[in-house]
Chain A
Amino acid sequence: DGGITQSPKYLFRKEGQNVTLSCEQNLNHDAMYWYRQDPGQGLRLIYYSQIVNDFQKGDIAEGYSVSREKKESFPLTVTSAQKNPTAFYLCASTPRTPWFSPQHFGDGTRLSIL
C-alpha cells in the first residue's frame, strides 16, 4: 500500500544537538509538508516543498532546516537553535493537481528533550 513513513516514532535530543526526522512517501506526490503540533493545539506549518530542490518557509521555520533532493524524501532537521523542540512532528504530502487535493499524513515523530 502507498503511504507516508515517518521515522523514528520517538526521538530524544540532548541540549545543543541537531536531530533529523525522516519522511518518505511512495505516493508519487509532488508536494510535501512538515508540521509541528503542541499538546492541545492544532498543526502549525514549518516548511513545505512543491517540487524537488525547492522549498519554502512556513509559519514557524526558525530553528529548523529541510532538504528535498528526491521526490519521495523530505527530511527535517531540528537544530540547536530551536530552543523549545519538544512536540509532535507530522509530515504530509499531496499531488499538485488538482490544487485542492487532500493531504496525506504520516503517523508522526514525537521529539523530547533529555
Chain B
Amino acid sequence: DAKTTQPNSMESNEEEPVHLPCNHSTISGTDYIHWYRQLPSQGPEYVIHGLTSNVNNRMASLAIAEDRKSSTLILHRATLRDAAVYYCIHLNFGNEKLTFGTGTRLTIIP
C-alpha cells in the first residue's frame, strides 16, 4: 500500500499562510500526489494534485520536493473555513485506490 506520513495536528492564525507537510518516501516515478480535506460530518473534498512540478489552483498550492519524497500543501491565507482534516495520498498507476491515513487536523485561530 502507498504510505504517507503527516503530523497529527497543526494550528495557524487566521489570514496567515499555512504549510502542511507530507512525507511519501515510498513514492514511485508514476505516482501522483493528491490532497483532500474533510470538514466535520462531511465527505472529503478534493483540493489539489500533482506529479513533479509545483501546482496552483484557486484553493491552494502544492510544492513537490525535487526527489518527490515529500510535498507541502500551501494555503496562502487561512480562513476559519479552512479548519479541517487534510489528507495527503499518493496514487499508484494500476492500483488506483485511495489509501487514507489519519491526516493532519488543522485548527485556525481567529
Interface SS of chain A: helix, strand, loop or mixed? strand
Partner of B46, one of A31, A33, A35, A104: A104
Q: Which of chain A's residues has its CB closest to B44's CB? A: A105
Query: How far in angstroms is the closest Cβ of chain A from B22?
Result: 13
Partner of B97, one of A42, A58, A88, A108: A58
Taken together as a complex, chains A and B put the C-alpha atoms of A40 and B104 apart, in Å, by 11
Taken together as a complex, chains A and B put the C-alpha atoms of A31 and B91 apart, in Å, by 15
Contacts of A110 in B (CB 8 A): 41
- Of residues 33 to 53 in A, which have CB atoms within 8 Å of B's CB atoms? 33, 35, 40-45, 48
Interface SS of chain B: helix, strand, loop or mixed? loop
Q: Which of A42, A94, A104 has the most CB of B within 10 A?
A: A42
B interface, size bucket: 20 to 34
- Of residues 71 to 110 in B, which have CB atoms within 8 Å of A's CB atoms? 87, 91, 93, 96-103
How many A-B contacts are there with CB distance less than 8 Å? 56
Tell whether A100 pairs with B49 under 8 Å between CB atoms, given A108-B41, A108-B43: yes
Partner of B49, one of A42, A90, A102: A102
Q: A88-B41, A100-B32 are in contact. List 12 more A-B contacts (CB 8 A).
A: A33-B97, A41-B102, A42-B102, A45-B97, A45-B99, A58-B97, A90-B44, A99-B93, A102-B34, A102-B36, A103-B44, A110-B41
